[in-house]
Amino acid sequence: MFENRPTDGVHWHLIRCIGGQIIASAYAPFKMRKSTSPPTQTVCYLLRIIPCILFLMLLFHCRSQTPDLISLKYLEWMKYFLFASLATYILALIGSGWHVGSSLFTANRIGNGLYQFDSLASIAIGTTWMSVPKWLLHRQVAVPLDETHELCGRIMGSMFVASYIVATHALHWPNQGDRNLAVDCRVICCLSILSAQIWSQIAYPEAWSGNHWVGISLFSTWTVIAVLYKFSLWVSKAKTN
């Protein structure tokens, strides 16, 4: 897709991280397809609408600022595809009634705090990747960075920003099973990205400096919190049954 640009281990690392986010975002509507709660359907649509909007902004930025990065025919095709997808999901969202949860379950203080932490982390990490991807990478990598790395980083950041919507709305979902699904999505996302980080460090040692382990350890914290909370929910459900 990139015009005459070689790829390296950093590219493939970022692409694998994006793949993990796509898998997590696909898991939500797959599991929610049998849910009878309209607010969960709203989140499924928003999980598609937000990335479409952000990707369109990245596309227009790429076309104007780095016109030689991606062939214009690919950009045109992606533009029409994103506009068509955006219109489809907006119409589906409006047709569903655009329902949102109506109550906050204040008894679950730890869970509510973790949902809010997840939303804040998604927005903070995502917007940083969208704004300054080269700055985030420059001390972790041992290869020259260019616009292709920035674009991959911004796509990953867009997916992070979009994922905040799940935890934010989960605070107000009436069904406990649906709220647990928000944790499942984050666990899948975190484990996928952490696996990509470790694999990239092993598979492409020439592309990374020693500081990459700092990034791995920081993301491991988010992963551990998500996995432990998921485990606590599983134990609590087992005791109830």
In-domain check, residue 42: no
- What pLDDT does 241 receive? 65
Domain around 113 = 9-33+107-240
- CA distances in angstroms from 138 to 10, 209, 210, listed in the order given: 11, 10, 12
- Does the residue 206 lie in any domain? yes
Average pLDDT over residues 80-85: 97
- Is 157 a domain residue? yes
Please check whether residue 174 lies inside any domain of the structure.
yes
Beta bridge partners of 70: 2
| Crossing angle of the two packed helices 147-170 and 38-65, in degrees rounded to 10 | 160
**Position 228 pLDDT exceeds 70:** yes
Quick one: which of 114, 96, 121 has its CA closest to 45? 96
pLDDT band for 87, please (50, 70, 90 cuts). very high
In a domain, 2, yes or no: no
pLDDT of residue 112: 87
DSSP state of 143: S
Beta-carbon contacts of 176 under 8 Å, excluding residues fewer than 6 positions away, are none
Residue 162 lies in a domain: yes
Share of the chain above pLDDT 90, in %: 56
The answer to whether residue 101 is domain-embedded is no
Mean pLDDT for 190-203 is 92
Asked if residue 95 is part of any domain, the answer here is: no
pLDDT for 149 equals 94
What is the C-alpha separation between 120 and 207, in angstroms, rounded?
30
How many folded domains does the chain comprise? 1
pLDDT tens across 148-189, in order? 999 999 999 999 999 999 999 988 887 878 888 889 999 999
